[in-house]
Amino acid sequence: MPTVTLDKKKVLELIGKKVSDEVLLDRIPMLGTDLEKIDDNEIVVEIFPNRPDMLSEEGFSRALSSFMGIKQGFREYDVKSEKSTVVVKGLPKEWPYGICAIVRGLEFDDEKLRSIIQLQEKLGVTLLRKRKKGGIGLYPLDKIKLPVTFTAYDKGKVKFRPLEYEKELSGDDILLKHPTGREYAHLVRGWKKYPVFVDAGGVIMSMPPIINSHDVGKVIEGTQDIFVECTGTDLNTLKVAINIMLTALADMGGTIYSLQMDYGTDKFECPDLSARKMKVDVGYVNKLLGIELSSADVKGLLAKMGIGFENGCALVPAYRVDVLHPMDVVEDVAIAYGYENFSEEIPNISTVGEEAGETVFVRKVSEVACGFGLLECMSYHLSNKEHLVRFMRKKDVDVVLAANAVNVEYTALRNAILPGLIKVLSENTLYEYPQKLFEVGKVVRPDESSEARVAEVLSMSCVVADAASEFSEIKALLLGIFSGIGVDCELREARNSTYIDGRCAEVFVSGKSVGFVGEIHPEVLCNFGVEVPVSAFEVEIGDVCSF
């Protein structure tokens, strides 16, 4: 969960009432946040991922003042028309959407800058999934010329001075040389064109989702009017993100101005801060919560959560991304009612727990392996690139590195179990042979297609260390284990740098490669300090059985 540091004086000012620390200590956790610290200057809270609207002083204070009954009800925001259009055209399919608006009359000072930068960063990490789903940009309006166009340029045409950099760079050089460019280069890898915002004078304002221009995209103290854009892959998410940003800026004293978004065949005004209507059955609320509330009670409780209630419908603010279903409205009623006010009651039902299918499958595999006389190990999930790559005679293999590693031995997440088992053998050379070990567990590999940019794979590895260890023995163990779990496999002669040529086979299940089996190459054994022959296999068992 994101942790935000809020200016206590500003929060109390926005709440509109002097509140003691004792009251804050009691009320803040009841709102649905994890309070870490309150002192004379700061309030430090962990905000649940479903409430990104609370990631700023303005959003947090808005929610808290409603909850405490100070400024209750649906919050209206006035939106004026800028009477200008943003043309959106020619974007890459990987980044197809952009929406924009203007906020005037802000007069940024150091405090406002700190708050809005924190909100921008936290929204990028949470709601926009580390910019994978989108990004937000802010620009001083006096530096750009309206109307603005959001389009895409060929890579060779993108050239501007990126934020906080001393000189102009091409788009490709930004990804190579600028710190932010390097951090987010993976987002645009393989794109044929780069998205750009261009003003009426042809000046490149930014290259989403990477970075703004230093010349026209840097908001500083004294900036009064700003142009706000949000671009990305999901239009609905972008609308919520820009609504959160705009309402926070409005609470800072700004006035919101809408822009017309022109997609050619589709045109609409941004932002749309009108309430979403959601039907609420009071009987449904009472049934789920086990209490008796009238429509007036529900209206009053929802008002404490900043939600309106008219004609049996909840009026959900445009910045509340968490309210998707009537159950979410029921949850807000419960929070406003106060979990401390519910009476404890043992439900008149019974349930039966059940193991996860994967756990059952892993236990079955382990039991079969133990039946063949193998000893189960549980090695570390952390290793280092030296052991995972060079010691295994691999080349050009990416591993997932640990951030801020404190020990050179543990700097990367394992991409295979086999290196760990060979290391176990190297640390037990004084014990008698044969040594027959196995392990079933998760390995982690880079995967740019996943949200976390990594993929977890369920794998199994087995090693047999003995002077007489050979391919036929490890093959028999592999086939025996697969037979024990009811899986047919096929072995095909193959080459793998970790194994000895001519004594290695690739393992296939239903025509799909799942791993390798063979005798470990002497160089690998020498790297680890193992002095006896070792035969081994490693297979991705998550792919051989459904659970």
Residues 466 and 533 sit within 8 Å (Cβ to Cβ): yes
The answer for residues whose C-beta is within 8 angstroms of residue 26's C-beta and 6 or more apart is none
Q: How far apart are CA 467 and CA 359, in angstroms?
A: 35
Contact 164, 151 (CB under 8 A): no
**pLDDT at residue 351 in the model:** 84
Architecture of domain 278-340: 2-Layer Sandwich (3.30)
Domain 357-543: give its CATH architecture. 2-Layer Sandwich (3.30)
Nearby residues of 519 by Cβ (< 8 Å), 6 or more positions away: 469, 470, 471, 474, 499, 500, 503, 504, 533, 534, 535, 536
The Cα-based distances of 172 to 158, 233, 317, 411 in angstroms read 8, 22, 41, 29
**What pLDDT, on the 0 to 100 scale, is given for residue 547?**
53
CA-to-CA distance for 390 and 205, rounded, in angstroms?
A: 45
- Candidates 3.50.40.10, 3.30.450.20, 3.40.50.2300, 1.10.3720.10; CATH matching 79-270: 3.50.40.10
The maximal CA–CA distance of the chain, rounded, in angstroms, is 84
Instruction: Measure Cα distances from 30 to 292, 334, 512 in Å.
Output: 21, 10, 52
168, burial (CB in 10 Å: exposed 0-12, middle 13-18, buried 19+): middle
Both structure tokens of 381: 């999930």
**Residue 329 — very low, low, confident or very high, per pLDDT cuts 50/70/90?**
very high
Looking at residue 409, its pLDDT comes to: 83
Q: Give 454-493 pLDDT, tens digit per residue.
A: 899 999 999 999 999 999 999 999 999 999 999 999 999 9
pLDDT at 546: 60
What value does the mean pLDDT take over residues 190-200? 95
Residues 6+ apart with CB under 8 A from 544: 482, 485, 487, 489, 509, 514
Which burial class, exposed, middle or buried, applies to 459 when counting CB atoms under 10 A from its CB (0-12, 13-18, 19+)? buried
Confidence of residue 59 (pLDDT cuts 50, 70, 90): very high
Quick check: helix, strand or coil at residue 369?
helix
- Residue 396's pLDDT is what? 82
pLDDT(50) > 80: yes
Closest C-alpha among 42, 51, 57, 56 to residue 1? 51
Q: What tens digit of pLDDT does each residue of 99-123 get?
A: 999 999 998 999 999 999 999 999 9
Per-residue pLDDT tens digits for 279-321: 999 999 999 999 999 999 999 999 999 999 999 999 999 999 9
- What is the predicted pLDDT for the residue at 308? 95
Rg, the chain, Cα only: 30
Three-state helix/strand/coil letters over 162-192 = ECCCCCCEEHHHHHHHCHHHHHHHHHCCCCC
pTM for the full model?
Answer: 0.74
- What is the per-residue pLDDT across 414-431, written as a single tens digit (0 to 9) for each? 999 999 999 999 999 888
pLDDT at 395: 86
pLDDT of residue 179: 94
Matching residue, tokens 């982690």 = 444
For the cut 60, the answer to whether the pLDDT of residue 432 exceeds it is yes
Bridge-based pairing of strands 211-212 and 204-207 is antiparallel
Q: What does pLDDT average to over the chain?
A: 93
Asked if domains 3-67 and 278-340 share a fold, the reply is yes
- Using CA atoms, how far apart are residues 300 and 307, in angstroms rounded to an integer? 9
Amino acid at 53: D
Q: How many CB atoms lie within 10 A of CB 406?
A: 7
- Residue partners of 452: CB distance under 8 A and separation at least 6: none
| DSSP H stretches of helix in 399-470 | 418-426
CA 47 to chain centre: 15
pLDDT digits 0-9 by tens, 134-147: 999 999 999 999 99
Cα 302 to Cα 276, 325, 330, 331, distances in angstroms: 14, 15, 9, 10
Can you give the residue ranges of every domain in the chain?
3-67, 79-270, 278-340, 357-543
Among residues 488, 478, 463, the alpha carbon closest in space to that of 544 is found at 488
Which of 509-516's residues contact partners 24+ apart within 8 Å by CB, and which partners?
509/543, 509/544, 512/543, 514/489, 514/539, 514/540, 514/541, 514/543, 514/544, 515/459, 515/539, 515/540
Q: What is the pLDDT of residue 33?
A: 87
Give backbone dihedrals phi and psi of 438, rounded to 5 degrees, phi first. -150, 160
CA dihedral 106, 108, 113, 115 (to 10 degrees): -40
Say which amino acid occupies 163. Answer: L
Q: How far apart are CA 268 and CA 10, in angstroms?
A: 35
d(CA 535, CA 498): 11
Q: What is the pLDDT of residue 331?
A: 95
| SS3 state of residue 135 | strand
Q: Which fold has domain 3-67?
A: Phenylalanyl-tRNA Synthetase; Chain B, domain 1 (3.30.56)
- Among residues of the chain, what percentage have pLDDT more than 70? 99
